[in-house]
Amino acid sequence: MANNFIKPGKHLTYTPPTAIKSGSVVLFGEELCVALNTINAGDSGELAHEGIFELPKAKGTGIREGTRPAWSVSTHEALTGGSPEKGDLINSCLAVETALAAAVKVKVKLLPGCGRWQT
């Protein structure tokens, strides 16, 4: 093992300025991450930036499996790919199941290294 190896890269260590609940979405630069446990303000905790998670979804619009929903920075929920606003995070996840318009959650696979801000 290389003497400069730190750890596998599936999780990122993060110290939030405010408390974060387990399962909450955290934007780490252009990465869409999920808190793996509750992290108190000023404490370090782990964020997943790989894996499949069920995340909040905007009600009223469906998201088809195989599409890349945007993450709304203002409403903190997944949006259909065709409706991101300036400043939303796009290309950061892939819907792995279809979520109907009435659904409030969508299952997505996080896509590390793919996110970027909508301009």
Is 4 a domain residue?
A: no
In this predicted structure, what is the pLDDT of residue 82? 67
Is 90 a domain residue?
A: yes
Cα distance between residue 98 and residue 103, in whole Å:
10
pTM of the entire structure?
0.91
pLDDT tens-digit profile of 85-104? 899 999 999 999 999 999 99
Is 78 a domain residue?
A: yes
Q: Is the pLDDT of residue 1 over 90?
A: no
Range of the domain at 30: 11-117
What percentage of residues in the chain have a pLDDT greater than 70? 97
When pLDDT is averaged across residues 64-76 and rounded to a whole number, the result is: 95
Instruction: Supply the CATH number for residue 70's domain.
Output: 2.40.300
Q: What is the DSSP letter of 2?
A: -
Is 82 a domain residue?
A: yes
Is 6 a domain residue?
A: no
In this predicted structure, what is the pLDDT of residue 81? 60
In this predicted structure, what is the pLDDT of residue 8? 86
Question: Considering its fold, how many domains does the chain have in total?
Answer: 1
